[in-house]
A and B are shown apart, each in its own frame.
Chain A
């Protein structure tokens, strides 16, 4: 009994700030409760979920969020891996390089969003200035004005901020690979590719899983960057699921339906995380059987 008592403070804290709100959101998703009905709690069964399936704005935001997640996480992963491999080879100054590369990750996203907003500005923006000076562009582009360029702009800003996260996790993974494995392969006359293929990649797999899972969840829940840079525009072209959930909950004061959007998103993300687990970790386990 005495040993378990130590868990009580943590249990109370987690229940209060995590379990209770999560359960309440789950419960609310089956109810109608909004400004429209005077915030009366009325049981609606699956009403909200039926509405969600037919909601074209939700579908559109799901597509935009999915596209954003796949493209930005892919780029972040490739760049992060290349950087980690490169920096892992540094013997001197590795600490300095590592710290410098981490700087974007430490800045608050809302501030980064304002910065990138100005970089992409068509009149004052640095990006247009650079492209015009180097002759790649004739006249300035209003990046955030077009649906595709706005999405590209948001992805670029996100990649800039989160490559360091992938990098640092993969670097940690690289540094715990036993060096004698490489030496053994060298004895067998293996080249660089074989070393990567048979030692680095399988040993890195748990770290790949962790970084990808974290990044997919964060990217899918992206809010601040989009909210500040584009507000979901133009014409809803960069509206993500969390932006829509926020609008519904906070601005439309539709607490029931807003909770449904959140619950549906969590379920989707859980499915994606399980998929990643099956794909990466299960295969990894097989490699060592």
Chain B
């Protein structure tokens, strides 16, 4: 599990254990960095039995963990009523080759935050964003913040721009790679053009928290980030309280906007000695009342249609999952390295995308 500073998870687990004293669940808290927790599970599962029974699972881990044969197939266990209520894209992201391995709990998506006291209506196209950021930025206020460090976040940011230009990265079904198409070049050129103009030069070193801090201090007009910022920006002590709006990410004229889907759910280890008890727990913790309870305490967005707050609905409709391939980590690293190389002027955007496409094709091979 993630670190449980507030004790919210502990309380949910305690209420389960009170109901089922014969099969108590014990929580193991991991480090806050999600890829470190991914390693934690990988190490345990590589050594076979005796590790964790239940996995608090990120969307991008599913294909890899399933391909490694570490997760239990849950397709036939999930009741039809739940299948109806969970967000479709989240169910899809928890599946691999048509079978469900992860029950969604919380959803997330990339979104554009803006200062509604300054810009009024949110921008719709890339040009709008450019113009508005240019107009309202000044000495003490940056234009547009996003996450450009060489890490997974860079890929999620880039995908939203790429999809906004009508392009795509990889087709998980056919394993086709689209990175050397003109849309990808337009997307990279747009991202690169913001550096040093509407975005600070340091944007290529930022992760979520650096950009959130700057925006929340009132030092930027626009911010691309995840849904968690919404609750934090509305807090009593936030300098920008009541002056923030959220909108779907901008797109090219004639295209539609897209948000990268994030989110967490529960999966069961194939090595568990007690699948029935594990399933009971997964059902319990993904129940509406428990998700609502965690939502109130941690600000997480429940992945159930009946529980998604109204202001997030249009954004979650546009959410798209990253390609469900077992080699996701390698594909993401290839893209990260070449995007980052182009943005730091080590190579030209054309060269970066051509090489990224070539390496990705080599990886996915015939």
Determine whether the beta carbon of B68 is less than 8 Å from that of A39: yes
Determine whether the beta carbon of A251 is less than 8 Å from that of B35: yes
Contacts of A233 in B (CB 8 A): 149-151, 204, 336-337, 340, 344
Cβ of B212 < 8 Å from any Cβ of A?
no
Contacts of B39 in A (CB 8 A): 250-251
Determine whether the beta carbon of A145 is less than 8 Å from that of B202: yes
Q: Could you list 12 A-B pairs, sorted by A, with CB under 8 Å?
A: A35-B64, A35-B326, A35-B327, A140-B202, A142-B201, A145-B204, A230-B205, A233-B149, A233-B344, A247-B333, A253-B68, A255-B46
Return the chain A residue nearest B355 by Cβ.
A56
Determine whether the beta carbon of A147 is less than 8 Å from that of B346: yes
Determine whether the beta carbon of B341 is less than 8 Å from that of A236: yes
Cβ of B67 < 8 Å from any Cβ of A?
yes
Determine whether the beta carbon of A123 is less than 8 Å from that of B214: yes
Interface size class of B (residues with CB under 8 A): 35 or more
Determine whether the beta carbon of B346 is less than 8 Å from that of A234: yes
Q: Contact flags (1/0) for A217-232 with B, using CB distance below 8 Å?
A: 0000000000000111
Contacts of B150 in A (CB 8 A): 230-236
Return the chain B residue nearest A128 by Cβ.
B202
Return the chain B residue nearest A39 by Cβ.
B68
CA A51 – CA B213 in complex, angstroms?
Answer: 44
A250 shortest CB reach to chain B, Å:
5
Q: Which of B204, B219, B337 contacts A236 (CB 8 A)?
A: B337
Cβ of B74 < 8 Å from any Cβ of A?
no
Contacts of A237 in B (CB 8 A): 341, 344, 346
B350 shortest CB reach to chain A, Å:
15
Return the chain A residue nearest B145 by Cβ.
A123
Q: Which of B205, B327, B330 contacts A122 (CB 8 A)?
A: B205
Cβ of A196 < 8 Å from any Cβ of B?
no
Give the interface centre of B149, B203, B213, B337 by most chain A CB atoms within 10 Å.
B337
Give the dominant DSSP class at B's interface: helix
CA A146 – CA B341 in complex, angstroms?
Answer: 9
Give the dominant DSSP class at A's interface: loop
Residues of A in contact (CB 8 Å), total: 30
The 6 closest A-B pairs by CB, nearest first: A233-B150, A235-B341, A122-B202, A142-B202, A234-B344, A144-B205
Cβ of A121 < 8 Å from any Cβ of B?
yes
Determine whether the beta carbon of A142 is less than 8 Å from that of B338: no
Cβ of A198 < 8 Å from any Cβ of B?
no
Determine whether the beta carbon of B42 is less than 8 Å from that of A142: no
Contacts of B69 in A (CB 8 A): 38
A63 shortest CB reach to chain B, Å:
14
Contacts of B219 in A (CB 8 A): 123
Cβ of A20 < 8 Å from any Cβ of B?
no
CA A66 – CA B338 in complex, angstroms?
Answer: 22
Cβ of B3 < 8 Å from any Cβ of A?
no
Contacts of A140 in B (CB 8 A): 202
